[in-house]
């Protein structure tokens, strides 16, 4: 009789242990299943979040030059370093306003102009802004800001880039707003907007401008361009121009631009 009771006790203990492991296994598989549901591309909740994110305008900020291409060198400063510092501050301003921002470079690296421009199509950008520093000969007194936009594309350029007519007028409007806001913010000399078919903006697939933020060959302006406070003003002005441009478009950007 005692042996039988011991046998029953062992059976019950075994069943209890198996039940515990079974419960743990079931819990584990439930967790794995739920995680898969959250990360699967077919999950409606995840898709909804991704779709909402895609509605937020994307802006590409291009810091001119980089790597072996230092750009202008004058008055103890190198253009590639200044453009990166200003571009990073432009990004901060735009991100704070609720926009998505991608920089063509976020370090001292070289990237061909065509590769910078083509990012606008790959990423579906609504605006492309290239940051540069001007030169006018050693010791020159030339100073101030000027913003460039590409003109009407040639048939060859349209075939090469897929760019359509009409983008030039939008780029001109963008240039006007960026130029005005940057000059108001910095109180710099307003040298106006100009049409020039620079590759980086001509081959961009969205409204694009190139901002010359001042003259490195002007000793006074070169010193100002190295100052953090002035860089922040430049960035705030450029960002304000971009926000006004996007606000004028009949898209969700209008809501974000009011922040």
pLDDT in tens, 91-114: 999 999 999 999 999 999 999 999
161 pLDDT more than 70: no
Q: Please give the DSSP secondary-structure letter assigned to residue 154.
A: P
Shared domain for 40 and 99, answered yes or no, is no
Task: Find which of 31-35, 150-154, 155-159, 237-241 is predicted with most confidence, using mean pLDDT.
Answer: 237-241
| Whether residue 45 is found in the same domain as residue 62 | no
User: Residue 48 CB: number of other CB atoms within 10 A?
Assistant: 10
In the chain, alpha helices (H):
2-39, 44-55, 79-96, 113-123, 155-161, 167-186, 199-202, 219-225, 228-247, 253-256
Tell me the angle at which helices 167-186 and 228-247 cross, rounded to the nearest 10 degrees.
140
pLDDT at 55: 81
Range of the domain at 155: 56-256
Number of domains in the chain: 2
Residues 100 and 30 in one domain: no
Note whether 93 and 29 are same-domain residues: no
User: Which 8-state DSSP code applies to residue 191?
Assistant: E
Is 80 exceeded by the pLDDT of residue 231?
yes
Say which range, 16-30, 116-130, 132-146, has the weakest mean pLDDT: 16-30
Could you give phi then psi for residue 142, rounded to 5 degrees? -60, 135
Question: Do residues 169 and 214 share a domain?
Answer: yes
Tens digits of residue pLDDT in 170-218: 999 999 999 999 999 999 999 999 999 999 999 999 999 999 999 999 9
**Same domain, residue pair 31 and 84:** no
Exposed, middle or buried by CB within 10 Å (0-12, 13-18, 19+), for 19?
Answer: exposed
The C-alpha angle 215, 219, 224, rounded to 5 degrees, equals: 70
Rounded to an integer, what distance in angstroms lies between the CA atom of residue 211 and that of residue 64? Answer: 10
What's residue 257's pLDDT?
43
Q: Is the pLDDT of residue 51 over 90?
A: no
Higher pLDDT, 105 or 42: 105
- Residues 42, 72 share a domain: no
β-bridge pairing 145-149 and 127-134: unpaired
CATH code at position 214: 3.40.630.40
Do 60 and 90 share a domain, yes or no?
Answer: yes
Q: What is the pLDDT of residue 219?
A: 96
79 and 183 housed in the same domain:
yes
Query: Do 33 and 64 belong together in one domain?
Result: no
Domain boundary among 49, 66, 85: 49
Q: Please tell me the distance from the alpha carbon of residue 217 to that of residue 74, in angstroms, as a whole number.
A: 6
**Whether residues 110 and 185 fall in one domain:** yes
- Which sign, positive or negative, has the C-alpha torsion 83, 209, 256, 121? negative
Judgement on whether residues 30 and 65 belong to the same structural domain of the protein: no
Distance of CA 163 to the CA centre of its chain: 21
- Give the SS3 label for residue 146: strand
**Per-position DSSP letters for 100-136, written without gaps between them:** EEEES-SSS----HHHHHHHHHHHT-SEEEEEEEE--
């Amino acid at each position: 009789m005692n042996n039988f009771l011991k046998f029953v006790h062992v059976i019950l203990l075994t069943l209890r242990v198996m039940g515990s492991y079974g419960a743990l296994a079931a819990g584990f598989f439930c967790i794995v299943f739920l995680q898969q549901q959250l990360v699967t591309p077919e999950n409606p909740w995840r898709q909804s979040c991704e779709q909402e994110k895609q509605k937020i305008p994307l802006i590409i900020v291009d810091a001119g030059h980089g790597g072996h291409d230092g750009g202008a060198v004058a008055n103890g400063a190198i253009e590639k370093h200044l453009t990166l510092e200003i571009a990073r501050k432009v990004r901060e301003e735009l991100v704070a306003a609720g926009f998505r921002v991608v920089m063509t470079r976020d370090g001292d690296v070289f990237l061909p102009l065509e590769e910078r421009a083509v990012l606008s199509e790959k990423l579906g950008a609504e605006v492309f802004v290239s940051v540069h520093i001007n030169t006018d000969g050693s010791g020159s007194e030339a100073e101030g800001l000027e913003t460039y936009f590409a003109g009407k594309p040639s048939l060859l350029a349209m075939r090469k880039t897929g760019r359509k007519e009409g983008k030039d007028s939008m780029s001109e409007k963008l240039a006007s707003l960026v130029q005005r806001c940057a000059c108001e913010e910095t109180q710099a000399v307003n040298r106006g907007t100009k049409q020039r078919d620079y590759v980086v903006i001509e081959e961009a697939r969205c409204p694009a401008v190139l901002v010359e933020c001042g003259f490195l060959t002007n000793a006074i302006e070169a010193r100002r361009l190295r100052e953090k406070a002035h860089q922040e003003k430049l960035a705030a002005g450029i960002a304000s121009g971009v926000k006004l441009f996007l606000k004028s478009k009949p898209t969700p950007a209008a809501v974000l631009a009011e922040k």
